[in-house]
Amino acid sequence: MSDIETTSQRYLMKEVTVPIPESRIAEFYQKFGEFMADSTPGAHVESAPRTQPPLEVDGDEVARWIQDSNAQVLAATFWNHLSDNGKDTLGALIDRALDGDKLNHMSPEELIAVTRNSKAASGLAGVFGAAGRATKAARLPRYTNKKGNGDWSYIWNWDGQHYWIPRPMAELLDKVR
């Protein structure tokens, strides 16, 4: 049973269709996933305060805490807060990032095909929303994005069409999974 089916059985769910400007679809899925993750009673956990901007490594933004002496402990704490679907999904992104022969980006369809996730992008957004909640539960810092209009954990990234984990983060998470 998928996370969405389980949630639907626990709560009365109503399907809603809303028009979203095409340029803001990625942001919508991110916020919707966080909203759904926080809709579980008792699920709201405050994240650690925002700190400096993220690191830039090979043109990709990465959480600054990966340089800390306790980075492996922080990564393990985060990993232990993930659901099985979250571990499968991020595991697929880790594997892709560590496979030097392929571009490390994966479309929602590619991720759905290689994981136990539901067959819809909205279900995948819910998995990432729950993973976002895991970053808060692990008290990982959040960083202001380049546009300055939001904050992000910089464990994984999303450009509106593809998800990916930058190689330095993938290497760290690979040690703790």
Q: How far apart are CA 40 and CA 132, in angstroms?
A: 14
pLDDT at residue 59 tops 50: yes
Rg for the chain (alpha carbons), in Å?
16
Give pLDDT tens digits for 127-171.
888 898 898 888 888 887 666 656 778 888 888 888 999 999 999
Give pLDDT tens digits for 28-58.
776 766 665 554 444 444 444 555 666 666 6
In the chain, the amino acid numbered 116 is R
Q: How far is CA 1 from the centre of its chain?
A: 21
The pTM score is: 0.70
Extract the tokens encoding 95.
């594997």
CB neighbours of 135 closer than 8 A, spacing ≥ 6? 47, 78, 142, 153, 155
Distances (CA, A) of 109 to 13, 52, 81, 115, 119: 24, 34, 25, 10, 8
The phi, psi pair for 154, rounded to 5°, reads 60, 35
